[in-house]
Structure 1
Amino acid sequence: MKKFIFFSIIGSIVCAQNGLEIAKMVDARPTPKDMFNKTKMVLTNSKGQSRTNIMVSKSMDGNKRQIIWFLEPKDDKGVSFLKIEHSNQDDEMRMWLPAFKKIRRISSKRKGDAFMSSDLSYEDLSSRDLTKNEYSRLDDEIIDGKDCYVLKVIPKKEAKSSYSKHLSWIEKSSLMAVKEESYDKRGELKKNKAYTHKKLKEYFVMERIFVEDIQKNHTTEVTFLDLQVDTGIDYNLFHEKNLKRIPKM
């Protein structure tokens, strides 16, 4: 009996995934060929005053290529954002600002800046490169009834991150994030993030993101509406010339 217990313990240790292996599982999760959605983004300041943006987004390659057009409010209508992620060079990010009739390139040095005054930075909008972060597995936890892996993510110097670390709670059954804490360069908690997802066809897709900037007492709620997957989006759509072309709804 003692031998059985001993070998069971050894077996469980050998079979347990480490942090990087779990991160690779998340990265390899099945994703749609492309995705279309209408998005509602509500910004709320420390006084409880809110501002609502309505956008439409098209993406592909697991959101590594994305273009967003702002529809509302009126003073933001026509503003658009293009993101193309690369594995061997800095990501491309550009914004079309119709008021200035100018396309603005967002450099890697500015990826810690806020996206359209929200609590999401340009860095938050991008995927994490597995090779540019260190992953450690912490003790598993139950979050809102969901059995979760808990990962500590430390960006390496080459990640050029505005964060010092993240703690991420990943639901085991879907391999989707349900919660994350992000810490600034001083090691202090900067943002709390909560995620809600759903099953659409054979994929798990994000349905809602809630971000609280602890230091600014400001929140951003992003809700993805009219989600559609595998719609046949043209690869050539993701070009800066299309920033000026709001799609017909």
Structure 2
Amino acid sequence: MKKLTYLICLFFSMSGLLYAMTDEEKGYAINLEVERRDSGFGDSINDSLMILRNAQGAESKREFTYKTLEVKGDGDKELGVFHRPADVKGTAILTFAHGLKPDDQWLYLPELKRVKRISTVNKSGPFMGSEFAYEDIASWELEKYTYKYLRDEVLDGNDSFVIENIPAYEYSGYVRQVEWIDKTIYQPRKIEFYDRKNTLLKTLTFHDYNQYLGQYWRAARLEMVNHQNGKSTTLLRNNYRFRIGLSDNDFSENSLKNVQ
């Protein structure tokens, strides 16, 4: 492992080394660089809007804020709090992401006034009626997948690496993912999700990237399309603020009932 890590580090200073790696080593090296470039932001908060569409095109909307705390040596902590419409106001989702260890997730339901722990085996279920699953909203962690470089491809004018990601954690709803990673900003442009029958289930595309703090790229619009049921979800994210002083106390299971 130490030798592989050394080779990976050399790869980014000696671009020709990429061609000496296996496809699996290339895939891992590319995603290691994704992780490196997105590390160190500390914490963030943004305002979000989900637009849910059924197969007939009818829409419903969900407004919420989303907080993230970077955790050294582990996955990020994330808290989403819904504000509108009235029937979801006060609903909150708390996620502690991990690598191979199952993510911890809790859902606060204000009408029941209780916190519900989301079972590990139910992470493939829909989040708040959207086409995003509970496992989709947890932060990406390098150890969650094994990787294989497939090819280079230009996607909508963006030169990209195409990588196959195989979930290494238990109870994923996907047997594999195919991801297009932008070679310039090292962020995803598209992800295809294949169900346990290895049939294309959903496609997620990322649009309107903005850079923050001179380093960190965030997509302002995400589009998730379910090819099997005809539904889709648009996620709009804006008003990003970074390094606002969030701490572990802001992501406590016990504080879920008091979120605003």
Q: TM (normalized to structure 2)? A: 0.85
Instruction: Please state if 1:13 is matched with 2:19.
Output: yes
> Matched residue of 1:27: which SS?
helix
How far the C-alpha of 1:128 sits from its partner, in A, is: 4.2
2:120 and 2:59 mapped to 1: Cα distance?
29
> Residue 36 of structure 1 aligns with which residue?
45
Name which of 128, 145, 148 aligns with 2:157.
145
Shift of 1:200: 1.4
Question: What are the equivalent positions in structure 2 for 1:1-249 lying under 5 Å apart?
Answer: 13-14=19-20, 18-31=26-39, 32-61=41-70, 64-87=76-99, 89-156=101-168, 158-196=169-207, 197-202=209-214, 203-247=216-260
C-alpha separation between the residues in 2 aligned to 1:207 and 1:27? 20
Contact 1:69–1:243 under 8 Å retained in 2: no
Query: Given the superposition, is the C-alpha separation of residues 155 and 89 from structure 1 closer, same or farther in structure 2, using an over 3 Å criterion?
Result: closer
Tell me the equivalent position of 1:4: none
CA distance in 1, matches of 2:211, 2:145: 28
Instruction: Give structure 1 regions of 4+ aligned residues with deviation exceeding 3 angstroms.
Output: 127-132
Q: Could you say what secondary structure the match of 2:68 adopts?
A: strand
- Secondary structure of the residue aligned to 1:175 is coil
The amino acid of 1:20's aligned partner reads Y
Equivalent pair of 1:132/1:159 in contact (CA under 8 Å): no
- Post-superposition CA distance 1:128-160 (Å, at most 9, x none): 44344221101101111111010011223x432
How far off is 1:246 after superposition? 3.2
Shift of 1:88: 5.8
Question: Does the residue aligned with 1:123 lie in a helix, a strand or coil?
Answer: helix
Q: Determine the C-alpha separation between the residues in 2 that align with 1:141 and 1:88.
A: 30
Q: What is the identity, as a one-letter code, of the residue corresponding to 2:29? A: E
Q: Can you list the C-alpha shifts for 1:75-99, whole angstroms capped at 9, x where unaligned?
A: 1101111001234632110011011
CA drift of 1:208 comes to 1.5
Q: 1:160 to 1:12 in 2, by over 3 A?
A: closer
- Please tell me whether the aligned partners of residues 41 and 220 of structure 1 are also in contact (alpha carbons under 8 angstroms): yes
- Partners of 2:97 and 2:80 in 1: CA distance: 15
Which structure has the bigger radius of gyration? 1
**Alpha-carbon separation, structure 2, partners of 1:19 and 1:240:** 36
Moved more, 74-83 or 130-139: 130-139
1:190/1:215 contact within 8 Å kept: yes
Asked whether the equivalents of residues 45 and 217 of structure 1 are also in contact (C-alpha less than 8 Å), the reply is yes
Instruction: Decide which moves more: 29-38 or 14-23.
Output: 14-23
The answer on whether the counterparts of 2:149 and 2:162 sit within 8 Å (CA) in structure 1 is yes
Q: Which amino acid aligns with 1:205?
A: R
Alpha-carbon distance between aligned partners in 1 of 2:37 and 2:106, rounded to the nearest angstrom: 28
User: Alignment partner of 1:147: what SS?
Assistant: strand
Contact map agreement 1:119 1:213 (CA 8 A) in 2: yes
Measure the CA separation in 2 of the matches of 1:39 and 1:222: 7
**In structure 2, C-alpha distance between the alignment counterparts of 1:230 and 1:152, rounded to whole Å:** 33
Please say which of residues 163-172 and 130-139 is displaced more in the overlay: 130-139
User: Match for 1:228: what amino acid?
Assistant: R
Between the aligned partners of 2:95 and 2:17, the Cα distance in structure 1 is 44
Q: Matched residues, percent identical?
A: 28
Query: Separation in 2 of the partners of 1:229 and 1:184?
Result: 35
For structure 1, the residue ranges without an aligned partner over 5 or more in a row are: 1-9
Which stretch has the larger CA shift, 75-84 or 17-26? 17-26
Query: Following the alignment from structure 2 to structure 1, what is the Cα–Cα distance between the partners of residues 20 and 113?
Result: 59
Q: Name the stretch that deviates more: 225-234 or 60-69.
A: 60-69
